[in-house]
Amino acid sequence: MGKYFGTDGYRGEANVVLTADAAFRVGKFLGWYYSRNKKEGEETRIVMGKDTRRSSYMFEYALAAGITSTGADCYLMHVTTTPSVSYEARTEDFDCGVMISASHNPYYDNGIKIINGAGEKLSDDIIEKIEAYLDGKMGELPLATGTKIGRTVDFAAGRNRYMGYLIATETRSFRGRRIAIDCSNGSASSVAKSVFDALGADTHVINNTPNGTNINDRCGSTHIEALQHYVIAEGCEVGFAFDGDADRCLAVDENGCLVNGDQIMYVCGRFLNERGQLHKNTIVTTVMSNLGLYKALDRAGIRYEKTAVGDRYVYENMSANHFSLGGEQSGHIIFSRHATTGDGILTALKIMEACIEQGKSLKELAGDCVMYPQVLENVRVTDKEAAQKDEEVLAAVRAAEQALGDDGRILVRASGTEPLVRVMVEAVNEETCRKYVDSVVRVIQSRGFAEEERPML
């Protein structure tokens, strides 16, 4: 984890944590870094997209100015999805890609995600170099002059190519299928409806009118209740909700019940496995996936591997082992045959494919994967590493593990971006979950690690 870049880019409140000046300097570094070893006449090409936040326009211009100032050309896809930038980076011979988005965060936050030429998240060694430059440890970078100054290029066509690619992944028509989509007033607004319409769906759309400040505002994958009510009210057979940059997807069945990322992996994993397309009969999850998923996969005879939290770790495992499917409970789902990153719209298409091919509803397909109740509490601490390693805290965790046995689990981990220790318990009922979360949180508090007092229940 870097000083500025976390597991999903450089993110924070616009012009407070992440400033236009910082964006300019990131762009300046990228233009210099990818241009420095080019032969005479070779172009440096960087593709860039943004979500619908008001500050995304400011950061787009700042990054583009930085990129072009050191000799690279910046291809602007404008409002588009993170997966589309990844797709274009790996298929159109770009040196790297940049996506301006804070994903599911509120509108006043923003972020810079950097993607390499293979469509993957940028490696840690290059991130370290960017951070060294931001901290003034590299001195100033040379500016391009004359004909070597870069240019900006309108590249809206790249978004259209990506949409064509999504449509081409499907071999079945969606004609007659009444499908609801929640675009979260974000990036999916520029892509999703056109894709579903092209496949013949009777598409019903909500939260598809971004105004710069309504992205993720009581809508999308982090506020699924809006779609749940809409699916029932409109009599849709299924609904899909995306986050701000559309790299996540959660689903809703015909009764308005949530189908989360774990259940989506189960549905798609079984479908791929039955068709011999699930490599090594394995799905890659993170340690935060629900115990209900693992029990359902055991019954289905499907193997699984667990990684640290973060879709980049899921993809690294998948790439190293050539696995077909992986993801997170939050809805980052990766289909390695088609993409190198989580892709919310692609995920929705693959769910529909599983339903149509098997002649079953999403409710029927997800029914065997029952989620265990889960309680998660974030404890703000003075030292998250010391809190995790404290002997009394560890003893409380071991006691909870022993008491829960095979019918539950406890996970205590530090946040990668905030001074928090997350205490999560899954068990057969919420009362049991709360009991063992409380038992560990009390010890963290009594040992003096908690910043704020929590009422002792």
Instruction: Yes or no: say if 269 and 280 are a contact pair by the CB < 8 Å rule.
Output: no
262, 266, 224: which is closest to 243 by C-alpha? 224
Q: Is 438 helix (H, G, I), strand (E, B) or coil?
A: helix
* 139-156 exposure pattern, b = at least 16 Cβ within 10 A, e = fewer: eebeebeeeeebebeebe
Q: What is the distance between the alpha carbons of residues 18 and 12, in angstroms, rounded to a whole number?
A: 5
Helices (H) and strands (E) in the chain, counts: 15, 19
Q: Is 245 annotated as a binding residue?
A: yes
* Residue 73, annotated as binding a ligand: no
At which residue do the structure tokens 């070597």 appear? 148
- Residue 186 and residue 245 in contact, taking contact as beta carbons nearer than 8 Å: yes
Name the CA dihedral angle for 85, 87, 91, 92, rounded to a multiple of 10 degrees.
Answer: -20
Is 56 part of any known ligand binding site?
Answer: no
59 neighbors 152 (Cβ within 8 angstroms): no
103 is in an annotated binding site: yes
Residue with tokens 């690279």: 72
Q: What is the 3-state secondary structure (H, E, C) of 45-77?
A: EEEEEECCCHHHHHHHHHHHHHHHHCCCEEEEE
> Would you put residue 382 in left (φ > 0), alpha (ψ -120 to 50) or beta?
alpha
What are the residues whose beta carbons fall under 8 Å from the beta carbon of 48, sequence distance 6 or more?
A: 60, 63, 64, 67, 74, 75, 76, 77, 85, 97, 98, 99, 100
Those residues whose C-beta lies under 8 Å from the C-beta of residue 69, and which sit 6 or more positions away, are 27, 28, 31, 143, 144, 149, 150
Which of 103, 184, 189, 324 is the catalytic position? 103
Quick one: DSSP state of residue 371?
P
Residue 56: active-site member: no
Do 48 and 100 form a contact (C-beta atoms < 8 A)? yes
Give the catalytic positions in this structure.
Answer: 103
* Binding-site residues from annotation for Mg(2+): 103, 243, 245, 247
